[in-house]
Amino acid sequence: MSNAIAEKGAILSPQEGERLATAINKLEEWLSVRDMYEPTVEALQSAIGLERVDVVVLYGDSVLAGVDSFVSAIREGIGKVSMVAGGRGYATDGLIAAIDAEHPGLVPADATAADAICAYMDHQNDPMPTTVERESSNIGALVRNTIKTLKSVDVDPDTLVVIADPLFMRRIEATFAVVDETLSVTSLPAYDMRVNFVEGLGLVFEQPTPHGMWPMETYLDLMSGEVPRLRDDENGYGPNGKGFIDHVRIPPEISEAAEVLEEFLGGHREADPIYA
């Protein structure tokens, strides 16, 4: 966590800190859209009544726990085809930093998320994905290029399991609803995270943390950008705004939680034109 965020959290009163931690956890739970909790045949059967889907895809700007889950999904055989997708996005540098912490110099600093993940998997002697997409720099591109890339290798899926950062799951689901409303998409978030407030310290992750977990600052920054994008108004991504996603109903308690986080951070993550 940056010194500024850490110091800001450390001076919160217990009441303020608990309110903030509750808001953050409420947002994570709502954003994550958990259809499956683990990459197993049993979990897939429980979620959608199938032992296998057409494709299991990992979206690249996630923590290494997502790669672990993807590898397990391949080994379990829950997808006929496996795919890694991701170019250079907002969180790619964080992913590469996590890999570099374990295997210094393995991945070039300017690598795409997909190439970084594939290099990591190859180094671990993991089973490799069937196909790779390296151009997408945002959620909308990831979803659209998933379909485009699969069709380029003669795969026209009816069922798909998506492994991604839980903070992006609701937006991924809403984007698929616009891109291909006939496709059955099952969400498998890369991790399940809760934060606590400790007086004098501020916000801390519950232990143990997921493999390669973001720093707290990155986690909160990523989270802060989601509700504003999911809004169906002139500033959001819904049909009444940019039209990138399907209409998403945001419960009042989620809007309130987003306001609590935004108040603490002093704003939310704005879209970066570099990744548009």
Domain containing residue 173: CATH number: 3.40.50.620
Q: What are phi and psi of 220, to 5 degrees?
A: -70, -35
Beta bridge partners of 197: 203
Q: What 3-state DSSP class applies to 161?
A: strand
The strand pairing partners of 133, in sequence order, are: 85
Say if residue 1's pLDDT is above 50.
Answer: no
Confidence at residue 5, expressed as pLDDT on a 0 to 100 scale: 84
Tell me what percent of the residues of the chain surpass a pLDDT of 70.
98
- Confirm if 275 and 142 have CB atoms less than 8 A apart: no
pLDDT for 234 equals 95
Number of domains into which the chain is organized: 1
Say whether pLDDT at 203 is over 80.
yes
Is residue 224 a contact partner of residue 268, using CB atoms and an 8 Å limit? yes
Domain carrying residue 228:
1-276
Tens of pLDDT, residue by residue over 111-123, are 999 999 999 999 9
* Comparison of pLDDT for 10 and 110, the residue scoring more: 110
Whether the Cβ atoms of residue 264 and residue 8 lie closer than 8 Å to each other: yes
* Radius of gyration over every alpha carbon of the chain, rounded to an integer in angstroms: 18
Q: What angle do CA 35, 37, 41 make, to 5 degrees?
A: 90
Position 3 confidence tier, pLDDT thresholds 50, 70, 90: low
pLDDT band at 212 (very low <50, low <70, confident <90, very high): very high
